[in-house]
Structure formats: C-alpha cells, structure tokens
Amino acid sequence: MKTEEQLKELVKQKYSEIALQDKETNMSSCCGSGSCSTEVYNIMSDDYTDLGGYNKEADLGLGCGLPTQFAKIKQGDVVVDLGSGAGNDCFIARHETGEHGKVIGIDFTPAMIDRARQNAETRGFNNVEFRQGDIEKMPITSNVADVIVSNCVLNLVPNKDGVFKEIYRVLKPGGHFSISDVVLIGDLPAALKETAEMYAGCVSGAIQKQVYLELIQSNGFTNITLQKEKPIVIPDDILETYLNADQMKRMKSSDLGIYSITVYAEKPVIDKTSCCPPNSGCC
C-alpha cells in the first residue's frame, strides 16, 4: 500500500495531466483517471449547465455532485472551494455571492491553479482568488468562511479527519459546508483498492459512508444533512481492466455499493468542545 505522501504525489501528477486536457477527454475516463471506457461518458459528474455562473471552459467534468447548488450561498458571503480545479464551482459560487462577496479556491496542483487563474482573469472576476495549498493545511486564516464547498475531492485525501478539522477551523461560527464526495457501503475488491488509477479516479480512496458521516459529527459539526445521494455504477469495460471474471462475479453478488453523496453540516455558533469560563453558561 502506498504511503500518504505517495498517494498525494500520484494525485498531483494525474491531475496535472488533466489540467491540460479538455472536458471531452476527461469525460471518456473514470473521473479523468485514464481508465477509458468503450463509450464516451462520465460515470460520476452531474450536469452543471443550467446553474447560474457556469463557465464551460472551467468545467473539466471531474465532479460527482453539485455542491454549489445545495450550499445556501447568500449575497456577500465568503466562500471557500476545496480542490477548486479549473474554477467551475468557484465561478458558480461567485454568481451566488455577488460582486460584494469573495470566493477562494484552494488546489495543490500548480497546473490547475494556473488554469483557474487564467479563467478568472479572462472573465474579469476580481473577487475570485486561487491559492495553491494542501486542504489538510489550508493557506487561509481561521473563522473567515461563511460557506465551504468541495466536489469529489476529499476521497482523494488520505487524512480525511484532518481535512474536516481544517474545515471546522476555517468556517466562521454559524458557517456551514456542502460537500459532494464518493463513499462506500461494503468492501471494494482488493484489486480495486490497490490500483493507483482507481485511487486517482475517486473510487479506491473512498471510505465507508457511516465512517464518513461519523467523522463529520466527531469534529463538532451539527445539523448534518444528506442533501443528495445517487448510486455509481462502474461499467464492466472499466472493471475488466482490474478484475478477472470470478472477481467481477463476486463483486456483483456482494453487498457493495458505491455512492455519490452531498452532505451539509454547520459549525455551531458556540463551540461546546472548547474550554469555557466557569459559570459562563456557554457549556
């Protein structure tokens, strides 16, 4: 099994390649991972084209949901997008927060940051900023974001608990997040778990749905709500690259489920996990 640093380097390399491709090329593969199917489709992404602020050039077809649609962004909000790619969700968030709001995209792939900045510059979006950094250690100060969004990114991060801790730190008290991600019910076959392409393709890095939701709760978030859930079916022509006939048969007869979920949660106005002065009434 690869180390956390090796997995991060794998993702950085793969998504650096994707940053130089167009959406049609990415959509012929599993989340852009290069595991091409005989049909041209994307097995995860939802259709953004009807959302205000959509920019075709910023849409690389890499998501697994529409978190900005569910994020309850208001005029003037500060919005942070984790794993901002070419800027698609940032530009939709900007449409919602308006000229008086601010949107910050964070991505640790330099090629993605370059592409996103070019897209923002071309459109004259002066209140959209892209910062290179690791979402486990966000280059952003505490308690600044009204809303955090992310689309099919946390499954690529080995230390998901660390990311939720960072989300909690960066959100203002009373702020909230809406995150789309891939989760599992049941176990992936070992051959898929150990495949680098399936990790970069947003599948083998996914964790159990219940564990994912428990991580959110254990980090102090409240009002945890499942906003959307849809099953993901990996086509046989992709599976055949990694599994033999017997392995595929066992997988199909198992209780394995792969799902895209969009989850909402809030940071409490009063942090009851921190120390309070005696008799202050805050705990």
Looking up residue 126, the CATH number of its domain turns out to be 3.40.50.150
The answer to the question of residue 151 being in a domain is yes
pLDDT-based confidence at residue 39 (cuts at 50, 70, 90): very low
pLDDT in tens, 83-127: 998 889 999 999 999 989 999 999 988 888 999 999 999 989 999
Q: What is the C-alpha to C-alpha distance for residues 117 and 69, in angstroms, rounded to an integer?
A: 23
Q: What is the C-alpha to C-alpha distance for residues 140 and 175, in angstroms, rounded to an integer?
A: 15
The answer to the question of residue 281 being in a domain is no
Q: Let me know: does 227 contact 263? Beta carbons within 8 Å.
A: yes
Tokens of 135: 């979402």
The answer to the question of residue 117 being in a domain is yes
Whether pLDDT at 279 is above 50: no
pTM: 0.83
pLDDT of residue 63: 67
pLDDT of residue 180: 94
Count CB neighbours of 244 within 10 A: 9
pLDDT in tens, 50-87: 666 656 655 555 667 789 999 999 999 999 999 998 88
Task: Pick the range with the lowest mean pLDDT from 168-177, 203-212, 224-233.
Answer: 203-212
The answer to the question of residue 274 being in a domain is no
pLDDT of residue 189: 87
For the chain, what is the mean pLDDT?
82
- The tally of domains found in the chain comes to 1
pLDDT of residue 195: 74
The answer to the question of residue 277 being in a domain is no
State the angle between helix axes of 209-218 and 160-170 in degrees (0 to 180), rounded to the nearest 10.
40
Tokens of 200: 């970069």
Segments forming the whole domain that contains residue 238: 4-266
The answer to the question of residue 115 being in a domain is yes
Q: Average the pLDDT over 169-191 and give the result.
A: 94
The answer to the question of residue 273 being in a domain is no
